[in-house]
Structure 1
Amino acid sequence: MIDLSRLTKKTGDYAFAPRGAVTDRVLLEVAEQYETEVSNRFIPIKPADLSTRYAPDSRVLETTKYDGEGVFVYFEAKRDLEIFAFNAPSGRVRVGLPCLKELATTLKARGTKRALLRAELYLRETMDGRRCASADVTRASYSTQPADAERFHLAVLDVVMHDGRDLRAHQSDFLTIWKLLGELAGTDPTRQAHRAEGGAVAGADLPKIFSETTSGGLEGLVIRRLDRPEVCKLKPRLAIDSAVVGFVEGDFEGNYGMLSLLTALAYPAERTPLQLQSLGRVGSGFADQDRVDWLGRLSTLRVDAPLAMSDSDGRPVRFVRPGFVVELEAEDVVSADEDASGQQVFGWNGSRWSFAGLAACPRLLLPTFGRLRADKEFSPQAVRLAQVTRREIPAPELINRTLPVLEVVRREVYTKEVKGAVAVRKLVVGHRTATAGAFPYVVFWTDFSAGRKTPLEATTLFAHTEARAEALAKRLLEENVTKGFARADGPKAAPVAAPDPSSESAEPTPKKRAPRKKTPAP
C-alpha cells in the first residue's frame, strides 16, 4: 500500500515521506473524493453570522477546529504495517508516530479490522505565547529529535470506511458517526489520539462556546447541521489597518473601476524616508459602486511608480500618495518562511516613492476589504507593521542577493508608418536562473509613437514558468500588433538575380552532347 523505500527514518520508529509514497491507487482515489465532496465544501462564516444563521433553539454539532495538518489514517489489523497517516493527493506518509501507535491499540481493543479515518495532526502546546499552528507541524515532521515525535496529537474527525462499510453517505446523519468516533478513538482530549472535542448544542450557545474556544488559543469551530449535510467553519476574523499605496484598474461587469488595492504597513518613523512593507493586493469585499468610487478617489493621487508591478493578468499597478487607511479582514496571519522570497519595501519621502528591496514579511490568509477608516489619517502609527509581526521591527531586514544575469530568449520588433513618423512596438522576453526573490522570466513590452501625448509607454510582466511567459507574450502581441504593423527585425532573404547573358562573367550554357552509338559486338 505504501512504498517503504520512500520513507526516511527521523527518530525511533518514526519515518516520513514528503510525497509519492502511497502506491494503492484506490485508497488515494477514495481519499481524494472525500476531500472534494466533504472537506472542500466547508462554508466559511464570520462570528457576526451566528445569530442569523442558527436559530436559538436549533440543534447543531460543534467541534473544535484544530490548526494542524489534515490527514487520513489507514488501519488494517495483522498487517506488517498496521497503521499509517497519509495525505491525498500528494501521497505524503508518516509511520511510527506515538499517536498513531496509541490509535492502533485503541482500534484493536474495540475489535476493528480495517478503517479509514479523517483526522487532524496537530501540536497541542503553545510556543512563544501562541498555540502551535500548521507551520509548526511541518517543521516537527522533519525533525530528528525524539521529543518532537512525542509532541504530535491526532484529533479524529470522521469515519470514511469501517470494516467494509462505506460511511461517506452519513454526512446528513452525523450523530451516528459522532458516536462511532467516540467508540473508536476515545473522548479524552489529553490523550495523543482522541475524537475531536465538542458536542451537540443549541444555536444560542455558539457565541459563548466560540469565545471560550478561541480565547484558549484554539483556531475556531466546525459547526454541522444535524438535519442536513451542511458544515461551516468559524474562525476569528483579524482586522488589520493598512495604508493604500496603489491600485489596479480595469473593466468589471460592464463598468470600469478599481479592481484591487495595493496595501502596505509602516516601519517605525525614525528612518527617512519613511519605509513601508508591502502587504499585498486585496480585490474582494467591494461592491460594484465601491470600485467606481475608489477609482475616483485614487486617480487624483497618482504618482510615478518606483518599479513596474502588475497583477496576475498583466494589468499595471498605479501608485498613489499614501493617504487612505483601510481595514482589512483575514482569517489568519501566516508567518514569513525562513526561505521566503520576500515582499517589496518602499520608501516615501513626502512626494515620491522609491524601491528599497525585498524583505520577508508575514502575509494575510484570505484577506478581504473591510471598510475605509475615515476616522484615521495616514501615519506610521496608524498602519504599524507590528500588527502582523507581533513585535516592533525597527528596520527592514532586506534580502541581500545578487540576481543572475538576465538572458534575452526572445526579441521581436514591429513598425508602422503613421503620418510620416515610424511607430515602434517591441517585445523582449528574458530568462534567468531561478533564485529566491526573483521571477525567472521577465516580459518587456515597449510602445513608441512620436505623435502621442505620451510617446513612450512600457509594460513589464513577470512569470514563474516558460509557459506563462509565452502566454503573456502571445497576449501582448495579439492586443498590440494591429493592422499595418510589420515585423522589422527578422532576417530578410536576399533576392536571387537571373544571370545577365551580356555580362562577360556569365558562363555560356553548355551544349548537350548527343549520346554515342554503341557498336555491336562482332
Structure 2
Amino acid sequence: MATKKNKKPLGKGFVSEIGSIEDSTLAAMLRGYKSRVASGYRALTKEEIKGAISPGKYLVSPKIDGELWFLIMEGKDPWLGNPNGRIISGDIPLLKEAATLSNKFHDRTVLAGELFAVVENDRARVGDLKSAMGGGEKADAGRLGFMVFDLLEGGDKKKQAPFENYTETFATIENLLDGGKRIQSIRTDTVGTPGEIESLFDELVENGKAEGLIARDQGTRIYKIKPSFTVDMAVLGYTEKTGDASQVRSILLGLMRADGQYQVLSGCGNLKTEDERKALMKKLQPLCVGSSFRHASGSGEMYHFIRPEVVVEIKATDIQTENSSGDPIKSMVIKFDENSWTPVCPLPSASLLHPALERVRTDKQANETDIRFSQLLERVVVQNPDQKVESIELPASEILRREVWSKSTKGKKAVQKLVVWKTNKEKETPNFSAYVVHWTDYSPGRKDPLKKEVRLSPDKKDATQIAEKMIEENIKKGWEKVV
C-alpha cells in the first residue's frame, strides 16, 4: 500500500510521508474515522459524570496519551497507517509481533488504536512518542506499543465487521490480540453506574496512570472524561450580545509567543451571568483599536479588537492540535504595534475544548511570562513551536455585490445594506472563508440602532443564496433601493 518515494528510516523499519496509502478506499476510511468518531464524543469532567451519565452498561477504558494510528493486517506483512496517510512498515518490533498473530485474522482487518512509546515508571505521553520516532536509523522503535480499541474492517474466523454493538466488537479484538505484548487490546472494565466510573477515574486518572477515560454505552454514545485545567490568556477582542449591546457575547483569546507576538487560539462564549457580561463590556469597550486582521466568531459576528491589556483565566476540558480530519491546526499570529493589529502569518497551534471564563486576572499582565504560549506545550505537542515568524502579504478582497435600501418613518431614515465580497485569501490561511456576506441594519428609533450579521461561505453559489435570503427576510414593503 505504501509508495516508495520519501520513505525514511525508523530504526530498522521505515516511515513514509503523508499521502502514502495508494488504496483510495482505505485512505478515505482512515481519514474519515477520526471525524466520524470525534463528532460522537461528549467531553466531561469528573464533576459532570453523575449529572450526565445514566445507570446502564458501559465499557470504560483508560485514554492513552499517544497518536491515533491503524494496524492493517494483510497476510504476513502488517503495517501501520494514520489518518493523514503516513505509513510505518518494515522491521519494527511491534509489526513483527503482529505478523505472528496473522493466522487469527479473516481477510484484511483494520484495527484502530493508540500508538505510544513505553516509558519506565510513568504513563505514556505523546511527547515520548515523538522522541522515540525521531533520529532516523537511531530511532528507538523498540519502545513503540499499540493499544487497540476499535475494529473497522475484517475480524476473526467467526465474526467480522460490522458488529451489532461495541461489546461484540471488543470481544473480537480481545480474541485476535490474545497473548500480544507490544500490541494489546486496551484495558476495558464493564460497569453499570456513574459511581463506578468515578472510581475508575480516581484509580487511573487521579493516580497518574492515564490522561483520561473513554466510556462507551451500548449504543453510539462515547464519553471522553478528563480533568479540567486552566490557561491564562489575553483577551484580543469581543463581540456584542444580540439584542443587548451592553453585554459581551464572546471573547477572542490569544497567547504570547517568545518573540512578543500573539497567536490567536480560541473564542469563548461561556462568560457566566448577565451582570458579569455587562461588567466585562465596560472593561473591554474602551480598549477598542483598529485591526487590519478580521476574525469571525463561531456564530458569524466579527470581533472588535482591543488593546491586549486584559488577562483572563480560562478553564477547558481538553486541547487538540489536529482537526477532525487529522490535519494540524493552524491559527494566525498577529502583531500589535502603533495601537493597531496586523496579521503576520498562520502557524501550528491548538484549540481549546469547552473553554469557560473562570475570572479576570487583575494580578497578571499581558507579557511573555503570564500569558506565554508554552503553557500549551506543558500538555500537548505543537509542531515547530519555535518556527520563525515571517510576514505574508495577503491578496486584497474583491467586492462582488453592494446594495443599499432606505426607509423614512416619522422623519427618521433607516438604512439596510448588503455587501458580498470574495476574500481571495482562503488558500493562504485557514482563518479566511472564501466568501463573506455582510448585512447592516440601521434604525435610529430602535433601542439598539445598529445591528450587523456576518455569514461566511465556501463558494459563490452558497454566498448568493445567503444574500438572497437576507433580502427576502429584511426588505419588505416601504423600503426603497438607493444603490
TM-score of the superposition, structure 2-length normalised? 0.67
Rg bigger for which structure?
1
What CA deviation, in whole Å up to 9, does each residue of 1:138-191 have, x standing for no partner? 996xx89344593643222245621251362352467745742551x61x3xx3
Question: How far apart, in 2, do the equivalents of 1:32 and 1:407 lie?
Answer: 33
Q: Which secondary structure does the structure 2 equivalent of 1:169 belong to?
A: coil
Question: How far apart, in 2, do the equivalents of 1:68 and 1:195 lie?
Answer: 15
Verify: 1:388 aligned to 2:376, yes or no.
yes
Question: How far apart, in 1, do the equivalents of 2:370 and 2:290 lie?
Answer: 21
Verify: 1:18 aligned to 2:6, yes or no.
no
Other-structure match for 1:515: none
Q: Which secondary structure does the structure 2 equivalent of 1:342 belong to?
A: strand
Q: Which secondary structure does the structure 1 equivalent of 2:392 belong to?
A: coil
Other-structure match for 2:383: none
Verify: 1:249 aligned to 2:235, yes or no.
no
CA deviation after TM superposition for structure 1 residue 107, in Å: 0.9
Q: Which secondary structure does the structure 2 equivalent of 1:314 belong to?
A: coil
Seen in structure 2, the aligned counterparts of structure 1 residues 376 and 438 have a Cα distance that, compared at 3 Å, is closer
Superposed CA RMSD in Å reads 5.6
Verify: 1:120 aligned to 2:119, yes or no.
no
Question: How far apart, in 1, do the equivalents of 2:219 and 2:226 lie?
Answer: 22
Seen in structure 2, the aligned counterparts of structure 1 residues 340 and 364 have a Cα distance that, compared at 3 Å, is closer
Higher relative contact order (CA 8 A, sep 6+): 2
Other-structure match for 1:311: 297
| Aligned amino acid, residue 481 of structure 2 | A
Seen in structure 2, the aligned counterparts of structure 1 residues 224 and 449 have a Cα distance that, compared at 3 Å, is closer
| Aligned amino acid, residue 106 of structure 1 | T
Q: Contact (CA 8 Å) 2:78, 2:95: kept in 1 or not? A: yes
Other-structure match for 2:481: 486
What CA deviation, in whole Å up to 9, does each residue of 1:207-229 have, x standing for no partner? 03213345xxx53333467x998
| Aligned amino acid, residue 44 of structure 1 | A
Question: How far apart, in 2, do the equivalents of 1:481 and 1:397 lie?
Answer: 50
Other-structure match for 1:101: 95
Match of 2:159 among 165, 174, 182: 165
Question: How far apart, in 2, do the equivalents of 1:158 and 1:452 lie?
Answer: 60
Other-structure match for 2:279: 297
Q: Which secondary structure does the structure 1 equivalent of 2:96 belong to?
A: helix
Match of 1:145 among 132, 136, 140: 136
Q: Contact (CA 8 Å) 1:77, 1:113: kept in 2 or not? A: no
Seen in structure 2, the aligned counterparts of structure 1 residues 264 and 478 have a Cα distance that, compared at 3 Å, is farther
Seen in structure 2, the aligned counterparts of structure 1 residues 463 and 19 have a Cα distance that, compared at 3 Å, is farther
What CA deviation, in whole Å up to 9, does each residue of 1:220-279 have, x standing for no partner? 333467x99875433332211334453323459x999643222344679x98xxx76543
Other-structure match for 2:419: 427
| Aligned amino acid, residue 47 of structure 2 | A
Match of 2:356 among 354, 357, 369: 369
Verify: 1:133 aligned to 2:119, yes or no.
no
Question: How far apart, in 2, do the equivalents of 1:421 and 1:266 lie?
Answer: 45
Q: Contact (CA 8 Å) 1:242, 1:265: kept in 2 or not? A: yes
CA deviation after TM superposition for structure 1 residue 477, in Å: 4.7
Seen in structure 2, the aligned counterparts of structure 1 residues 422 and 401 have a Cα distance that, compared at 3 Å, is same
Seen in structure 2, the aligned counterparts of structure 1 residues 475 and 98 have a Cα distance that, compared at 3 Å, is farther
CA deviation after TM superposition for structure 1 residue 22, in Å: 2.8
Question: How far apart, in 2, do the equivalents of 1:228 and 1:456 lie?
Answer: 47
Seen in structure 2, the aligned counterparts of structure 1 residues 335 and 429 have a Cα distance that, compared at 3 Å, is closer
Q: Contact (CA 8 Å) 1:42, 1:232: kept in 2 or not? A: yes
Residue identity (%):
17
Matched length: 447
Q: Which secondary structure does the structure 2 equivalent of 1:259 belong to?
A: strand
Question: How far apart, in 2, do the equivalents of 1:72 and 1:22 lie?
Answer: 14
Question: How far apart, in 2, do the equivalents of 1:130 and 1:343 lie?
Answer: 33
Q: Contact (CA 8 Å) 2:147, 2:184: kept in 1 or not? A: yes
Seen in structure 2, the aligned counterparts of structure 1 residues 312 and 132 have a Cα distance that, compared at 3 Å, is same
CA deviation after TM superposition for structure 1 residue 124, in Å: 0.8
Q: Which secondary structure does the structure 1 equivalent of 2:164 belong to?
A: helix
**Structure 2 unpaired stretches of 5+:** 380-385
Other-structure match for 1:233: 224
Other-structure match for 1:44: 43
| Aligned amino acid, residue 387 of structure 1 | Q
Question: How far apart, in 2, do the equivalents of 1:479 and 1:165 lie?
Answer: 55
Seen in structure 2, the aligned counterparts of structure 1 residues 17 and 411 have a Cα distance that, compared at 3 Å, is closer
